[in-house]
């Protein structure tokens, strides 16, 4: 595949600054960008499949050897976001993006043509119900908005391929965003549902890793739909309430929240969808520090900044500033039960650590001072330690999930992330 149009927001240009006061890893920014690019090249080599392996010429898909099926919606969303953000450094980024998009468009959900069937097998057949997963659609829609800002697109009036090498990314994004609102957002609570299949008791369940504030802001801007303001406020309000009631010492969120439409929303009491750890900070909620931190550094919203900062400070204290002590699983009180060393758990804390800098109007880091482990200098040391561990943890070809989370966290930490 070859590159086509030039990038309007090229990787490494740092053209869209973060909120003033946001930390960054020590050292040369260009050197940090090179480390991201190194990881990206490995990610491409290990996980991108193209051509006949995914249905024919011009198609790509992100391969997930560690998932229930070889191709899942979450990974395709990651692929679209990553390739759009890497444009300018990778001459193939535009073609790779379009290849993944062709795969997505070839596999619509059985319930709505503008949502993605969540799982495909090795032969490219839709499996597992042929319905959607909300996190995949959120990232796919966001990736399309990034692509529209990055490359523009052909306009055929329908959002489809125009026959001249371009899609109307904006139109495709708006159609998907509207479908998400119709099928994957609860009409009363405005909380994300698990997918377009959610009904009955599953209508009262929401997955915290789908709570993506920057996406909701971008969807509001793209569509003008004020309901996305309600979605944003509903998620941030509930996140704050859950931290106050169930995790005041840590700020951790559970994988799943139940009773969202009846009674008081609470962490899952046990297995409601995936595992007995559905009420813990497990393999879904490990992404929360990344999602909240990414919004905090791009929007400046005090709600996400305080939430991300609290998570970073808890993790720093709990590990004594050693990222190697971050475990892959925590109860909401901070009790660790998981194994050691997955980038899916430690990399998101580096995004949260960006928020520990001084922000105008807050004084000197809330009066904690700058010359001890609790102040800004301590936070810089924590961020540098996390960054060093991320750089020393290249993608594992058997672990697509951790590689995707780790690479996207590196993009944010290196100040290469932006909101379309």
Report the catalytic residues.
74, 135
Q: At what angle do helices 302-319 and 376-391 cross, to 10 degrees?
A: 80
Q: What are phi and psi of 371, to 5 degrees?
A: -115, 20
Chain centroid to CA 1: 26
CA pair distance 373, 211, nearest whole angstrom: 31
C-alpha dihedral (16, 89, 296, 396), degrees to nearest 10: 180
**Is 191 within 8 Å of 203 (Cβ atoms)?**
no
- Closest to 78 in 3D by CA, of 127, 156, 143: 143
Residue 50: enclosing H or E segment and its boundaries?
Answer: strand 48-50
CA pair distance 74, 116, nearest whole angstrom: 10
- Closest to 107 in 3D by CA, of 82, 81, 142, 70: 70
Instruction: Tell me the C-alpha to C-alpha distance, in Å, between residue 306 and each of 298, 299, 309, 370.
Output: 14, 13, 5, 18
- Residue corresponding to tokens 């936070």: 379
- Angle among Cα 57, 93, 292 to the nearest 5 degrees reads 120
CA pair distance 130, 402, nearest whole angstrom: 25
CA pair distance 183, 141, nearest whole angstrom: 14
**Is 214 within 8 Å of 299 (Cβ atoms)?**
yes
* Chain length of the chain: 420
């Amino acid at each position: 595949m070859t590159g086509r149009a030039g990038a309007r927001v090229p990787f490494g240009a740092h053209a869209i600054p973060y909120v003033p006061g946001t930390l960054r890893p020590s050292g040369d920014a260009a050197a940090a960008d090179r480390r991201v690019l190194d990881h990206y090249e490995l990610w491409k080599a290990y996980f991108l499949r193209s051509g006949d392996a995914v249905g024919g010429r011009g198609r790509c898909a992100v391969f997930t050897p560690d998932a229930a099926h070889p191709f899942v919606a979450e990974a395709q969303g990651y692929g679209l976001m990553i390739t759009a953000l890497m444009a300018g450094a990778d001459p193939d980024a535009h073609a790779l993006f379009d290849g993944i998009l062709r795969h997505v468009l070839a596999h619509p959900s059985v319930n709505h043509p503008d949502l993605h069937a969540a799982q495909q097998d090795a032969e490219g057949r839709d499996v597992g119900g042929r319905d959607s997963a909300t996190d995949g659609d959120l990232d796919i829609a966001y990736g399309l908005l990034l692509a529209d800002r990055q490359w523009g697109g052909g306009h055929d009036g329908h959002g489809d391929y125009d026959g001249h090498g371009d899609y109307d990314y904006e139109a495709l994004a708006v159609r998907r965003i509207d479908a998400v609102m119709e099928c994957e957002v609860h009409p009363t609570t405005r909380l994300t549902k698990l997918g377009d299949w959610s009904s009955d008791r599953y209508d009262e369940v929401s997955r915290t890793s789908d709570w993506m504030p920057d996406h909701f802001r971008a969807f509001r801007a793209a569509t003008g739909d004020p309901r996305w303001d309600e979605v944003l406020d509903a998620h941030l309000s509930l996140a704050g309430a859950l931290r106050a009631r169930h995790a005041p010492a840590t700020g951790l969120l559970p994988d799943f929240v139940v009773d969202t439409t009846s009674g008081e929303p609470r962490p899952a009491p046990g297995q409601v969808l995936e595992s007995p750890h559905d009420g813990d900070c497990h393999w879904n909620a490990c992404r929360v520090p990344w999602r909240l931190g990414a919004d905090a550094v791009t929007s400046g919203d005090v709600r996400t900044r305080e939430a991300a900062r609290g998570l970073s400070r808890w993790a720093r204290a709990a590990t004594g500033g050693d990222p190697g002590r971050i475990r892959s699983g925590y109860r909401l009180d901070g009790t660790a039960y998981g194994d050691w060393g997955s980038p899916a758990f430690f990399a998101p804390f580096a995004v949260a650590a960006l928020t520990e800098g001084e922000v105008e109007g807050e004084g000197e880091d809330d009066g904690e001072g700058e010359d001890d482990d609790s102040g800004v200098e301590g936070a810089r040391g924590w961020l540098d330690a996390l960054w060093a561990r991320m750089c020393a943890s290249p993608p594992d070809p058997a672990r697509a999930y951790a590689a995707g989370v780790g690479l996207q966290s590196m993009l944010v930490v290196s100040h290469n992330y932006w909101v379309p």
